[in-house]
Amino acid sequence: MTSIQEAASAFLSNKRVAVTGVSRHPKGHGSNIVYQRLRERGYEVFAVNPNAEEVEGDRSYHDLRSIPGGVDAVVMGTRPETCEETMRECAELGIHHVWMHRAFGGGSVSQAAAEYGRRQGLQVIDGGCPCMFEPTADVGHKLMRFAFTINGHVPRTV
């Protein structure tokens, strides 16, 4: 098992990151917040939304396969029922770092998708948010990380 801190550090060391579930209507969408924060911190970030051509003023891609040059890591911010298909796509494309976003409620965590990814040799973080860890963290997200670790929404190990 790998500590969440080690897994988060490994994930965030990748500079080409796709974020699924980025909405055309950004208000209140966790995926949009993650997308914006990664972009602000200098990551080359790609929005994935099969129903949009553009989000956050940037081109949106319909799936991971359509991103030119591919990506090194994926943040899943979609409904849990779509995560297994995305996890299969990650495995097929050789994307080894996957983060299923979860803050409030169930988030994007799918136990079936996490198990599948791990069987394929992917490092899967099943909860929390990349914005809770350095170098993307802010005070608010650090406080959420503390609280959500206590209630189990941020795993201690992956």
> What integer is the mean pLDDT of 75-84?
95
Judged against a pLDDT cut of 80, whether residue 14 lies above it is answered with yes
Q: Measuring CA to CA, which residue among 103, 95, 99 is closest to residue 120?
A: 95
DSSP code of residue 133: S
Q: In the prediction, which pLDDT does 125 show? A: 98
Q: In the prediction, which pLDDT does 106 show? A: 77
Q: In the prediction, which pLDDT does 103 show? A: 78
pLDDT bracket for residue 28 (50, 70, 90) = low
pLDDT bracket for residue 105 (50, 70, 90) = confident
Q: Measuring CA to CA, which residue among 129, 150, 124, 151 is closest to residue 140?
A: 129
pLDDT bracket for residue 70 (50, 70, 90) = very high
> What integer is the mean pLDDT of 64-89?
96
**Domain boundaries 4-150, corresponding CATH code:** 3.40.50.720
